[in-house]
Amino acid sequence: MVPVMDDLLPGMLDLARDGGETLTRQLTDQLRALITGGRLAPGQRLPSSRHLAQSLDLSRNTVSFAIEQLAAEGYLTLSAGRRPAVADGLALDRRKVSSRTSASDRVNLSPWARHLQRSIWPPIHKGRSRPFQPGLADEREFPHDLWSRCLRRAARNALSRRDRSINHPPLQHALLAHLSVHRGIKAKPQQILIVPTAQAGIALVAAALLEPGDHAWAESPGYGGAYVAFKAAGAIVSAMPLDEQGMTIGSRKDAPRVIFVTPSHQYPTGRLMPIGRRLELLRYAEAVGACIIEDDYDGEFHYEARPVAALQGLAPSPRIFYLGTFSKATYADIRLGYVVVPEAQVDIFELAQRHMGMLTSIATQDALAEFITAGAYLGHIKRMTRLYKGRRDRMLQALASEAGNRLTVEAPAGGMQLLARCRGASDDQKLAARLLEAGVVSRALSIMTYHRSDEQGLFLGFAAWNEKEIDRAARVLGRIVR
């Protein structure tokens, strides 16, 4: 590195005198950039502040402030009677920085991140949503004006709030009142933790319960987000095949530490786990000391008989973690979910929440508490249940008439999506890719199946599209699968 001569330094600085950024700030920033960029080498002395002020036509004070600031930040060293010197070890290694290798070559990713890179979960669709993308609520039907009034009031309440809890008590109370009546949840309000999404809840429980090498069970076909979270925690995940009643409780050599189930509407088959299998599962978990993660992701929407209550309320158990999300019952971007943890685990889980940063805005929690207590939440769910039931029926009709000879569909008793199984030999991933090219989103059953199986099918959402949109997309689907 050739030292920059005193006389050259002023020419390397370009100070604007248009009244924008202060001259001290500009001089500090530009000198810092010359040091980190290696143009001023470690040990090199700057001109004296008097000399620099003269050649830059600045006041001596401006230069002194900049130099003191850089000395305070550790970029320059000052000693009495000597000119400021550039500190050692600050220049970045320019050869490495400017090399042509890609970012992922330079950064050492963890095994978890490498696993994510290889995994095909979750299928991500950027841009606007398209029919029949699974898991979406119809956000056009959400009462946004009413919601924005709740948000405004909650923002104004900020100064009068005394409570510093991370899980907002008014929301815990309001949600518990709702869940105990509608889902049969038995808990105290403080057992409800408010997290950004149900996926965050799964990751939180997995991180807190699993050790590397532990066994975890998940449904197959099943929700990929659970597989990813368990593997991230180092667990060995067993894909448990389903029968008509849901997850089978096979005899496995290694007892699981965690069992993940979606008993209200099995993901993705939509089937309900009957009471007998629920009790069997509870007894098994109790016997081997396993925890159950009950994911009730779209448990608010039921179209047939009265919904079956959640597992969590069936029997008092210190081992059930009940998960829900508001992204289905309200709209996807609300980013609020919850975990009902066993009473004995509240403290450690709140601590884990803080350490993992799984906290959500108190203003949004407050707004949601009001939305629920004012009856708007239940009103919305009731209206959406009628609307989505109509859409489910329309979707069943449309699929029967456009693709009845190629697809078999079981009417889901609730939820926002259905599984259409392929008849005969097909490649569901190829079908899904062709549908996507034609503007229809689906999820291939085979990417959600984690045990050896020949079953092929398409997972399709119906809730977010009106009847015209459903008919149009079903015609496209019919042309492609025929």
Ligand X SMILES: Cc1ncc(COP(=O)(O)O)c(C=O)c1O
What is the contact surface with ligand X in residues (CB under 6 A)? 135, 197-199, 223, 225, 262, 267, 295, 297, 325, 327, 337
CA–CA–CA angle 85, 87, 90 (5° rounding) = 140
Nearer to ligand X, 47 or 337 (CB): 337
Q: Least Å distance between CB 245 and ligand X?
A: 18
**First CA to last CA distance, the chain:** 70
The token pair at 142 is 């959400």
Residue identified by tokens 């001290």 is: 24
User: ∠ at Cα 400 (394, 403), nearest 5°?
Assistant: 120
Whichever of 199 and 365 has its CB closer to ligand X, that residue is: 199
**Pair of tokens at residue 108:** 């050492």
Nearer to ligand X, 223 or 349 (CB): 223
**Beta carbon of residue 201, minimum distance to ligand X (angstroms, whole number):** 8
Sequence-separated (6 or more) residues with CB below 8 Å from residue 361:
none
| Strand, coil or helix: 56 | helix
Q: How far is the CB of 3 from ligand X (least distance, A)?
A: 56
State the minimum distance, in angstroms, from the CB of residue 41 to ligand X: 51
Indicate the residue among 170 and 415 with the shorter CB distance to ligand X. 415
Considering the complex, state which of residue 415 and residue 478 has its C-beta at the smaller distance from ligand X: 415
- Nearest distance, CB of residue 195 and ligand X, angstroms: 9
Please state, in angstroms and as integers, the Cα–Cα distance from residue 287 to each residue in 261, 296, 343, following that order.
Answer: 17, 24, 20
Q: 245: which DSSP letter? A: T
- DSSP for residue 447: G
Closest CB to ligand X among 49 and 262? 262
CB of 297 to ligand X, least distance (A): 4
Shortest reach from residue 137's CB to ligand X, in Å? 10
Taking a C-beta distance cutoff of 8 angstroms, is the pair 480, 442 a contact? no
Nearest to 51 by CA among 6, 118, 105: 6
Smaller CB distance to ligand X: residue 297 or 322? 297
Residues in the chain: 482
3-state secondary structure of 195: strand
